[in-house]
Structure 1
Amino acid sequence: MDTRKLTEILRATIDPNQRQQAEEQLSQIHKIIGFAPSLLQVVMLNDVQLPVRLAGVVYLKNLVTSGWQDKEADDDDPTPFSIHEQDRAMIRDSIVDAVVQAPDIIRVQLCVCLKTIIKHDFPTRWTQIVDKIHIYLQNPEPNSWMGSLLCLYQLIKNYEYYLAEKRVPLMEAMNLLLPMMYNLIVNLQADQSPESVLIQKQILKCFYALIKYILPLDLITKEIFTKWMEVLRTVMEQPVPDSTLQVDEDVRMELPWWKCKKWAVHTLYRLFERYGSPMNAREEYGQFADWYLTTFTGGILDALFRILDQYRNKIYVSPRVLQQTISYIDQCVGHSHSWKLLKPHMFAIIQDVLFPLMSYSDADEDLWNTDPHEYIRIKFDIFEDFVSPVTAAQTLLITCCKKRKDMLERTMHLCMQVLRIQAEYGPKQRDGALHMVGTLNDILIKKKHYKEEIDSLLSQYVFPEFNSNLGYMRARACWILQCFACIRFKTEPLLIEAVRLIINALLNDTELPVKVEAAIALQMLLTSQDKVHLYLEMQVTQVTTELLKVIRETENDNIANVLQKIVPLYTKQLMPMAFEITDHLATTFSKVIETDSGTDEKAITAMGLLNTMETVLNVMSDNPAIMAQLEKTVLRVVGHILHHNIIEYYEEAMTLLCDLTTKSISEDMWKVLELLYQVFEKEGFDYFTDMMPVLHNYITVDTNAFLSNENHIIAMFNMAKAVSYFSYFILTLCSSPFFFCFYNM
């Protein structure tokens, strides 16, 4: 195929005026034998503009992803397109070379192609990839190393979830390539240039992928393992160039040196957690775990202590390296051998590392002041917890205070000292002390000595902070009440005061993060303290109105959960507000799905809002007049979901429809049946199980109305017939109430 003509077509795809015609041309010629290899050729032409090459590689990626594997045609359907074997052979011959030679932006897309090719062709049709990687790693030219390592990474990742017996082809390849990886990283460690360190990082990523789920002891003998442990230790201890301190902290963690250290500590943590810990390791790694613990613990802890010393001395350590370091130490606490080495240092770590980490930081303050919405998002982001050094600090604090003698007493002494001697310690340190106390709540509540003092702690050191002129201290006071909401208050006035302070913070505080913490504290108190129901009753409408405002402003699913708790408890009081509540929730839902739709956080928030709507419908179900009001608002939400095919919310939408059809079916709801039939025809029976309760209601709640319209019967019959064609559903669905009612009518 003429590469010049293909280049012109690709160039036209990035011109808005020619794009449609160019895409049609590509659609006409992409099945021609020779097209895919020619496309790869164009992608690798250095004299072609980069945007054109990028358009070509994206098209190639999509072509390979969808058309590499041979597909069988369904009955009466034409055979689906797949790339001809002749073209596949040509691409296999050149794809590794292409990855090695391509610029990074092209290389990323080629690696996706490579992933697909390896998945389907290695080792049966393509063992040569191993030889290609081997040749490039042997090449003294450094420019070939990164690309070949990226190819190796895709090869290893392909076997990531395979059982040991199915990893034989990979093990055969690694017998050849693992020693080369080792030699390369050892030779590079003297060179701390960015290019060298990035290659070292990629080698560590390959090694991590190799040992992530299975440690191949036949491949990695004790001698080889020891060598790799020395590599990891060296990477951890390598000084980071002073020039990195000139880079803004927000992006410093992305520098090659910190990325390399991150993968070193990440690998160490994985090795210890999965294979080196006698308490956690599977039976086949038992002997290895004992050997690991006694052989490497001392050296690794020394290296980790040096990292913590840097943090202690105000020398920058990237958050991810710090988090993994603390997590490794957390694993050490439970082992007697490692604890002997750790014990002399542990309280110093609590005092000089965990305590500062758990205190309100300058970065927290900056974010609170500049973007309180982002502050709230990060603080309540469950995904952030997996990589946060603060969360790692909390975990280590709990572990050592729970498992090791004297640690709880010494930690509490430190916290109380900070809280009592306010002249010596500032508010940020008081925040840290309260953070530590709240983190240890479950342990303190179970210790009689500390349990007896919690009331005093709240009245002396927590309640006064509600009047602080610092928003973060007011937020911390609310958070502490969340932690100790379940205690048995010694006096009722103390509980009344706690509720008063929380309600006041929710209704009157000017800082949004404080309102969020206050709302969650109120939920905790309502859940744990029966008397709180009475204390809140007089202000429940004000509280509910404020919660709706906070939900709309923050889009935080935790606040929606608070509302879910309140609505069933105060149904009578909130009846006049039912429409306002539902309308607020519907408006917020629309706002959430229209901005940044598709993210996990937004999906969680949207589901929380839908679930709260369901709660409102459930508690108002005995009031037909209110239900009639709510129906229009809820149908606005459900209609948007169904019309726009937002399938991730179908289950919640069907639940709402079920609630609206449980006792009666309005004219608008009969129109929804037509929409459900359209959804069924479009989506097939993927969501039929979610539809069944609604369909059951349509048949049984108002049978006469159902039978009066022939279209209802035809739609229901067609759905039943379509589903019954599949044997799986015959057993599972035909016994359902829907089918029982339909076939017995």
Structure 2
Amino acid sequence: MQVFFPILYSTLSSLIADDSEDSYVLQTLIIKIFFSFVNHHFPLDAISKELFGHWIDAFCTVLDFKTVRPDASSSVWKGKKWALKILNRVLTRYGSPGAVIKRYQSFAEWYVKAFSGQIISVLLNICEAYRQKSFVSKPVLSQTLDYFSSALTHSFSWKLLRPHFSLLVREVIFPLMSYTEEDAELWQDDPIEYIRAEAGDWGSVSSPANAASTLLSEACVKRRGVLNNIMPFCIHILSSESSPAEKDAVLHMYTAIAEILLKKAAYKSQLESFLVGHVLPTLHAPEGYRRARAFRLLEKLSEAKFNDQNIFAQVVDEVRKAACFDSELPVRVFAALCLSELVRCQEAARQFVAPHLHELLMRLLDCLRQTEFDDLNNVIEVLIHSFEKEIVPIAAEIMQTLSDIFLHLANISGNGLPDESNDLGDTEDLFEYRSIVATSILDNMESVLQVGEDNGNLVAELEPIVVRLIQSIFNHNLSIFFDEALTFVFSLTTNKISPLLWQVFDHLYPVFKKDACECFSEMMPCLHNYITVDRDAFLANPSHIEQVTAMCSEVFSMDDEERLQMHAAKLLEVILIDYRGQVDPYVPKYVELALARLTRPLVSSELRTLCLQVVIAGLLYSPMDMLHMMVEHPWPGTEVTILSEFLKRWLQDADCFLGLHDRRLCVLGLCLIISLPADKRTDAISALGEKYIPALLQLFSGLKKAYATKASNQNEDDSSDEESESEEDLDGKALGSDEDEVDEESVRYLEMLEATVSFIMFIYFYL
């Protein structure tokens, strides 16, 4: 690169003078090469400081606005975009003193002082061009503001930027945060897409409005005095005869700094009067976008304290009504998001919502069906958990509606993808997005189930709805939702297993056959319930134990799946312990599976212990039959008996039995061995006679400690209160004009990451 970079720079310099589209294409290509060079790693010895300075000069020249083309697709804008990406990358990754690894610290100090003035001047010219109504592409404007957001953390850069910041707020940030014609078209033509873009759910990553919001927030948090300086401007706009769009922009600015206002005592105490004077009236504005903005701001200020509870009741009621009845879909959605935050943050809000809960939830579910907007799932979740008692009478209706919406979202064709696409993008993008929404719906259905888990009548009412859904997921092979379906099965089989759920059991083995590696871990708790909750029903149909046995056999035959084999071993052990005297034909098979796995290489000591426990459980189930079998056959590859090798491994691993159950099982097994009559005690058992008592003493000692730990854990209070960030914390974050932000924790992490990467590269190249 030391040879190549001077050639590239020379080529770029000559191209800059050429004002043709072909020249801009080549310039962009060279700039992208440089970006690739600095994107992940910057070898400082590959380029001299002098040449690096020339490159910065070239990038600043590319960013010059002497030639402006009002066409975002032109390569001239692509070149500017990539030049800005380089400047942002170098500043944030290598040029920020106090926030870079040791290798780049001296470079960072040199970079900030050597180039901040030049770069900030060029970027201010871009903002000036925007202020003068010249065309500036969205990515260029966004990254310009992103650079300012990063630069203001450095005192040297902030001194250069501070004199211009008030003008930036008034002439750049304020207009960018206004409601535009493009926003109006999107609202009118595709309100669902407007919702997603506004909420950042499906929005553009290069949005100038988002960049402006971030810059405003960062400046108010990081630099003292900025918040106080911009507030008079905001209040003036709100209090004067400004246009609706201008007032909306100010509320947008308030939304960006809402978190700071909640933590500054001087502003926190005035929030109630501000909301009454400027936000509540906007809830009835004739323009839908203004109503939506007011709800967005109210959502951010949901923790604001209301001294007048009548006003608070009015606020909650207005929000609820808008969520249910507003004529504009985006307003209903953003009012719903606001309401969930009010309910979550202020318990007093619940008394005003509870009488209308049924209607509210049905309206929200209808809105969810219409928009497929995942944030509404979060709203429904908050309401379910906040009104558990009130949910019970309407739980079945909620569950059925959620199920219907899920089935609509999961409507697939033969190729496994949705039948149609929509404005979200191509079919695969739509499928991925709908899958996220559908998963959240299943989570909410699980929440409703949890509400009724102690109400047998309610569970019986909900069960048919959930079972139909589970069967639909399995029958249509919707493998992406298998985990959630199996969670439902587990929940419904924990206390009682109905005939309907035994029908679900018949689906499990076919599901396992399709995708054993992916689903067996999630299936294991369900199988455990089926085995332990209703033993008579489990044994009543021979296919039940046959299917469990077949699944465990297949898992044990797999290579490199020790985690799954642990689950299988546990199931076999449970059957042997819980069904003593009832599953005689399967005992030799289970013991054989465990012994066979012990003869193959094992990585996990936990799996080894679990296999030993299966054999111990087999011995406890049928001592004489198992001992006879283990004496009659040799351990594979040796001349010693299975019993001799097994006892040796068992005693060697006595210290590996952990927990109460495992140790107790081991103790019972050893007690069985040493209590055998003399005529039943084989040579293999007698040969290890001196090791049984020490092993038992070790196990008893472990049991004593385990019981003590269990008692201690029951008495511990694990709850902890997280203290919210105080105003003093916020003031501590704010920086004076001569201070730099130093992120020591990030630096330590970067140093560790750098050392790890270096070690891996050394191993890869030299060993």
Q: Tell me if structure 1 keeps the 8 A contact 2:517–2:564.
A: no
| Residues 451-474 of structure 1 deviation map (CA, whole Å, 9 limit, x = unaligned) | 111000011111111111111111
What aligned pairs does 1:480-629 form with structure 2 within 5 A after superposition? Answer: 480-593=297-410, 594=418, 595-596=420-421, 598-599=428-429, 600-629=432-461
Larger radius of gyration: 2
Partner residue, 1:198: 25
Offset at residue 175 of structure 1 (A): 4.5
The 1-side partners of 2:356 and 2:402 are apart by 21
C-alpha distance 257-743 of structure 1, shift in aligned 2 (>3 A)? farther
Q: Secondary structure of the residue that 2:136 maps to in structure 1?
A: coil
The 1-side partners of 2:275 and 2:338 are apart by 14
C-alpha distance 518-679 of structure 1, shift in aligned 2 (>3 A)? same
Q: Tell me if structure 1 keeps the 8 A contact 2:343–2:386.
A: no
Offset at residue 545 of structure 1 (A): 1.1
What is the aligned counterpart of 1:294 among 94, 113, 122?
A: 113
User: Unaligned stretches of 5+ in structure 1?
Assistant: 1-173, 246-251
Q: Tell me if structure 2 keeps the 8 A contact 1:482–1:521.
A: yes
What is the aligned counterpart of 2:293 among 473, 476, 492?
A: 476
C-alpha distance 542-234 of structure 1, shift in aligned 2 (>3 A)? same
Q: Secondary structure of the residue that 2:484 maps to in structure 1?
A: helix
Q: Tell me if structure 2 keeps the 8 A contact 1:552–1:584.
A: no
The 1-side partners of 2:457 and 2:428 are apart by 36
What is the aligned counterpart of 2:192 among 366, 373, 379?
A: 373
The 2-side partners of 1:661 and 1:387 are apart by 49
C-alpha distance 198-669 of structure 1, shift in aligned 2 (>3 A)? farther
Offset at residue 477 of structure 1 (A): 1.6
What aligned pairs does 1:673-688 form with structure 2 within 5 A after superposition? Answer: 673-688=505-520
Offset at residue 358 of structure 1 (A): 1.4
Partner residue, 2:252: 435
C-alpha distance 628-428 of structure 1, shift in aligned 2 (>3 A)? same
Offset at residue 256 of structure 1 (A): 2.0
Q: Tell me if structure 2 keeps the 8 A contact 1:412–1:437.
A: no
Partner residue, 1:451: 268
Q: Secondary structure of the residue that 1:384 maps to in structure 2?
A: coil
What aligned pairs does 1:411-430 form with structure 2 within 5 A after superposition? Answer: 411-421=230-240, 423=241, 425-430=242-247
Q: Secondary structure of the residue that 1:489 maps to in structure 2?
A: coil
| Residues 107-152 of structure 1 deviation map (CA, whole Å, 9 limit, x = unaligned) | xxxxxxxxxxxxxxxxxxxxxxxxxxxxxxxxxxxxxxxxxxxxxx
The 1-side partners of 2:214 and 2:444 are apart by 32
The 2-side partners of 1:735 and 1:719 are apart by 8
| Residues 371-394 of structure 1 deviation map (CA, whole Å, 9 limit, x = unaligned) | 111111212234636432222211
C-alpha distance 633-399 of structure 1, shift in aligned 2 (>3 A)? same
Partner residue, 1:212: 39
| Residues 467-525 of structure 1 deviation map (CA, whole Å, 9 limit, x = unaligned) | 11111111112112111111221121121011011011112210011111111111101
The 1-side partners of 2:556 and 2:141 are apart by 57
Letter in structure 2 aligned against 1:719 = M
| Residues 558-584 of structure 1 deviation map (CA, whole Å, 9 limit, x = unaligned) | 111111111233334333432322222
Partner residue, 2:650: none
Letter in structure 2 aligned against 1:420 = S
Offset at residue 735 of structure 1 (A): 9.1
What aligned pairs does 1:646-725 form with structure 2 within 5 A after superposition? Answer: 646-725=478-557
Offset at residue 740 of structure 1 (A): 4.8
Task: Say yes or no: does 1:233 pair with 2:60.
Answer: yes
The 1-side partners of 2:60 and 2:576 are apart by 71
Q: Secondary structure of the residue that 2:359 maps to in structure 1?
A: helix
Q: Tell me if structure 1 keeps the 8 A contact 2:521–2:567.
A: no
Letter in structure 2 aligned against 1:233 = C
Partner residue, 1:130: none
What is the aligned counterpart of 2:215 among 392, 396, 405?
A: 396
Partner residue, 1:332: 151
C-alpha distance 254-724 of structure 1, shift in aligned 2 (>3 A)? farther
The 2-side partners of 1:470 and 1:225 are apart by 52
The 1-side partners of 2:77 and 2:573 are apart by 63
The 2-side partners of 1:724 and 1:374 are apart by 50
C-alpha distance 744-220 of structure 1, shift in aligned 2 (>3 A)? farther
Q: Secondary structure of the residue that 1:662 maps to in structure 2?
A: coil
Q: Tell me if structure 2 keeps the 8 A contact 1:733–1:739.
A: no
Q: Tell me if structure 2 keeps the 8 A contact 1:507–1:546.
A: yes
| Residues 55-75 of structure 1 deviation map (CA, whole Å, 9 limit, x = unaligned) | xxxxxxxxxxxxxxxxxxxxx
The 2-side partners of 1:427 and 1:352 are apart by 17
Offset at residue 205 of structure 1 (A): 2.1
What aligned pairs does 1:63-462 form with structure 2 within 5 A after superposition? Answer: 174-237=1-64, 239-242=66-69, 245=70, 252-382=71-201, 384=203, 386-421=205-240, 423=241, 425-462=242-279
Partner residue, 1:128: none
Q: Secondary structure of the residue that 1:460 maps to in structure 2?
A: helix
The 1-side partners of 2:470 and 2:7 are apart by 58
725-734 or 394-403: bigger deviation: 725-734
Offset at residue 238 of structure 1 (A): 5.2
C-alpha distance 613-535 of structure 1, shift in aligned 2 (>3 A)? same
| Residues 714-743 of structure 1 deviation map (CA, whole Å, 9 limit, x = unaligned) | 221222233334565269834986455245
C-alpha distance 579-730 of structure 1, shift in aligned 2 (>3 A)? closer
C-alpha distance 330-370 of structure 1, shift in aligned 2 (>3 A)? same
C-alpha distance 720-224 of structure 1, shift in aligned 2 (>3 A)? farther
TM-score by length of 2: 0.70
TM-score by length of 1: 0.72
Offset at residue 399 of structure 1 (A): 1.4
Q: Tell me if structure 2 keeps the 8 A contact 1:724–1:730.
A: no
Q: Secondary structure of the residue that 1:237 maps to in structure 2?
A: coil
Offset at residue 444 of structure 1 (A): 1.3
Q: Secondary structure of the residue that 1:488 maps to in structure 2?
A: coil
| Residues 509-566 of structure 1 deviation map (CA, whole Å, 9 limit, x = unaligned) | 1001111111111110111111111111111111111111111111111111111111
The 1-side partners of 2:174 and 2:94 are apart by 30
610-619 or 625-634: bigger deviation: 625-634
Percent identity, please.
35
The 1-side partners of 2:572 and 2:89 are apart by 51
Q: Secondary structure of the residue that 2:63 maps to in structure 1?
A: helix
Higher relative contact order (CA 8 A, sep 6+): 2
What do you get for the CA RMSD once the two structures are aligned? 2.2
| Residues 608-630 of structure 1 deviation map (CA, whole Å, 9 limit, x = unaligned) | 11111111111122334443443
The 1-side partners of 2:569 and 2:191 are apart by 49
The 2-side partners of 1:737 and 1:466 are apart by 59
Q: Tell me if structure 2 keeps the 8 A contact 1:431–1:473.
A: yes
Q: Secondary structure of the residue that 1:387 maps to in structure 2?
A: coil
Q: Tell me if structure 1 keeps the 8 A contact 2:131–2:171.
A: yes
Letter in structure 2 aligned against 1:338 = S
The 1-side partners of 2:406 and 2:66 are apart by 49
Partner residue, 1:729: 562
The 2-side partners of 1:186 and 1:490 are apart by 65
